[in-house]
Chain A
């Protein structure tokens, strides 16, 4: 028994160590393990620790280089998109290990992080960090291609290309952009060659290495090219006639010889030509996979799922829907895909309502390949169709997963969105399905024909051509069955809801609520229904700061301003007896990976709001993660602050005032000079449980006294009255 239990114990470790993510529970790729020092060390500390010297640069230039490089990498590390220790990063690391099996010291120097982005890219930094995007992983066909990209980036690092490029730009200050790009292209060719050698040595397939350029060339396309199923939307209640989909084909553009004069990278054809002599000697040699193929496919699947999430986050709803279609082929009953599909339709619905249809759909000039069938179908949908299809999808998913809080919330928001469309009514929507309507029509037609026969029988009279033209006997035909038009299929798509009294009553309630809210807004704060927000605790994300006084980057100043700003925010909030939890760099040191993931999720939420312009109430794509944060931190309020320090505001104002009141120049000049440095601040208070913007404050003021203005802005923000629930 003892033996068995120890085996089970060991086995459980094994399972944990190699556990796959349940794709039904997939949220997003998250950081895992101990937080690396790259994320916790400040920029200044990194600069101080870097004792590298370059004899081609002056002391000031070296300082400038280090500042810029460390600062920009730091921005990226904390952009909310970068993760470490996740399955993708770990896999990338394992491939790099195979690649560098002869150079263990070099491998130890390098760190591999994943960037959650749909841009197909990989890059390395002077510090030895290799970043690779999920968009790139999602597009790959095999491990060799990944190995090539990694080897390419590692070559940039070992050849010190970043600093060489900086030295070049300093020593050739008069050079034009094209010659700078020319230099950059030489570096790319070098890196390609070194990468090929490195990969061939490790035993990767030369053919697959060569094919990596195809990945780059078609990176703008979805990760697979499958004919869209025209019956995809059809259910027992919903029917889309096939002729609604275009039969036109949209060829994929294959231009590998674009004008690369203004690009830092050579075009694909040149890169291929440059590398071909080296690789062609080894065609047919090597393996596409040195590691496990399954592992590669698993990691790629994470990246593909992530790609859908990112498309929803960035409001690319058509693209997300095509990707969901692709993934559903493998995972037909996946909860993650189901809720994401509901998100997509909610997004489409909101876009229709807010008139930002072109932002969520794909432009016609970008129609390429099989995905174009769906893109065109979505592009041509009208408001009534979107309403029907959104409700249909959400309702169907909710039937499948009746306990999903997220889907319930999505349904609620969808109904509220429709309720906020002015003068919306359901009169056009039928209470029977398309099929039922057709059957009914056929019955009526049969009855009509019967009647016609009766007439013929009785009167022995056949309608003449002229009687037919005049419409004798056609009255009944037009009223009873000529109405069905297959292009209006969507009016028959939500017959179950149209028969559902509870649904209609709830909708009416939302419509009344919306009207009441609009009235309250007009009264602006003078309504008895408005109540103060009752806030006990607030999560505060590190403020976004822009400092535009000097043209050069001043990290000390930025840190100082950031510190002051945090103090002001903390003081202003705590004066109102509200608890604060900061999510910033110092919380990363104490809170580690958990805190880091919190930060990333919150940044994604903000990003989602930023993309959906004019929408203040959403269901975040990371709904469950956000609910976890709410539970963990015991608050659902989130504060975002953005402060920009600008020196041009004053003079701009002087000109503006001068134009308006030229006779009062002396006083204008005096005041404008005093107000020369301006500060713009913006505060946004989110309600994370409801996915709502609760209050915002945006203002601009003079730098002098800005400390108190910031506090006042926060005071007013927290004093905002909300409509009584």
Chain B
């Protein structure tokens, strides 16, 4: 009996059926859910980037271990196996940069033979609260014809916008001072800066695997794993004061670096199957 069933399926597998392929014939899916981003995999890699540490004893760059957020997505199934969609995700991140960093600790001899720093703006950022919004148009496909439920994969290319929130403390040298022998004297001053509105935009690539467990005709629970790669060196969008260009650039760079630490994230939530 079993054998017959099996043989029959094999025999009829190639039947070109004109049935609808998606879950209950529905084509539009809305998903909402939470996002959890563990950020530990590429933390080490970040340290190798173009920053040097002023304080060698304090060279740990801390990044929040998790970032939280929520997301929503809309998918339209073209067929049982292929679809298109868009993901919108909001994440509240805390990009903590507790180390003292300077743009460069390399010095050069000036015309008088004194040591002069190549760059004067040594600063430290205590932390940056930031909110990231991602919008990723996606192509969705499933190995078996059952979109949107079951094991669904997607690739997308989109952008994210990270906006700094609240204030941060920085200290920087007030200027270049020299001692009697003509060497540079560090003269730090503390400033409190409001960073609200600092924005960084970037392009990212996304690959996700999503599993929808239907719990009714109209609803499913899902879990999703997603791999995201931030494309670096993209032009910045900012409304920050022109007079503080250096600082803004640095903050943005820091923010970008931090975003890069989030290589993959986990999501879980509910999907609703509409029309």
Q: Which residues from chain A sit less than 8 Å from chain B, CB to CB? A: 75, 78-80, 520-521, 524-525, 530, 544-546, 603, 606-607, 609-614, 616, 640, 642, 644, 653, 657, 661, 663-664, 666-668, 670-671, 674-675, 682, 684, 693, 695-702, 704-705, 708-709, 711-712, 715-717, 719-722
Q: How far is the CB of A562 from chain B (nearest CB, A)?
A: 12
Distance A80 CA – B11 CA, assembled complex (angstroms) = 19
Distance A260 CA – B136 CA, assembled complex (angstroms) = 68
Partner of B10, one of A79, A525, A613: A613
B214 touches A709 (CB 8 A): yes
B11 touches A720 (CB 8 A): no
Instruction: Please indicate the chain B residues that have their CB under 8 angstroms from the CB of A701 in the complex.
Output: 144, 146, 149-151
The 9 closest A-B pairs by CB, nearest first: A667-B225, A544-B5, A720-B19, A708-B214, A705-B213, A642-B5, A610-B8, A705-B214, A682-B9
User: Is B1 an interface residue when CB atoms closer than 8 A count as contact?
Assistant: yes
Instruction: Please indicate the chain A residues that have their CB under 8 angstroms from the CB of B24 in the complex.
Output: 711-712, 715-716
B225 touches A716 (CB 8 A): no
What is the predominant secondary structure among interface residues of chain A facing chain B?
Answer: mixed
Partner of B19, one of A614, A644, A661, A717: A717
Instruction: Please indicate the chain A residues that have their CB under 8 angstroms from the CB of B8 in the complex.
Output: 606, 609-610, 640, 642, 682, 684
Q: How far is the CB of A641 from chain B (nearest CB, A)?
A: 9
User: Interface with A: B118-126, B159-167, B216-224, which one?
Assistant: B216-224
B151 touches A668 (CB 8 A): no
What is the predominant secondary structure among interface residues of chain B facing chain A?
Answer: mixed
Partner of B5, one of A530, A546, A613, A661: A546
A667 touches B145 (CB 8 A): no
User: Is B88 an interface residue when CB atoms closer than 8 A count as contact?
Assistant: no
B11 touches A722 (CB 8 A): no
Distance A700 CA – B20 CA, assembled complex (angstroms) = 16
User: Is B180 an interface residue when CB atoms closer than 8 A count as contact?
Assistant: no
Distance A80 CA – B1 CA, assembled complex (angstroms) = 9
Tell me the nearest residue of chain A to B229, going by C-beta.
A663
In the complex, 9 of the A-B residue pairs with CB atoms within 8 angstroms, ordered by the A residue number, are A524-B18, A546-B5, A667-B209, A668-B209, A674-B223, A696-B17, A705-B220, A708-B149, A709-B149
B217 touches A720 (CB 8 A): no
B contacts with A, residue count (CB < 8 A): 50
User: Is B99 an interface residue when CB atoms closer than 8 A count as contact?
Assistant: no
Distance A574 CA – B220 CA, assembled complex (angstroms) = 23
A78 touches B150 (CB 8 A): no
Q: How far is the CB of B233 from chain A (nearest CB, A)?
A: 21
A702 touches B19 (CB 8 A): no
Instruction: Please indicate the chain A residues that have their CB under 8 angstroms from the CB of B12 in the complex.
Output: 609, 616, 682, 684, 693, 696, 698
Distance A675 CA – B222 CA, assembled complex (angstroms) = 11
Instruction: Please indicate the chain B residues that have their CB under 8 angstroms from the CB of A715 in the complex.
Output: 24-25
B1 touches A716 (CB 8 A): no
Tell me the nearest residue of chain A to B214, going by C-beta.
A708
Instruction: Please indicate the chain A residues that have their CB under 8 angstroms from the CB of B19 in the complex.
Output: 695, 697, 716-717, 719-721
Distance A715 CA – B264 CA, assembled complex (angstroms) = 37
B11 touches A614 (CB 8 A): yes
Q: How far is the CB of B272 from chain A (nearest CB, A)?
A: 14
Q: How far is the CB of A408 from chain B (nearest CB, A)?
A: 25
Q: Mark B129-171, 1 if CB is under 8 A from A, else 0.
A: 0000000000000011110011100000000000000000000
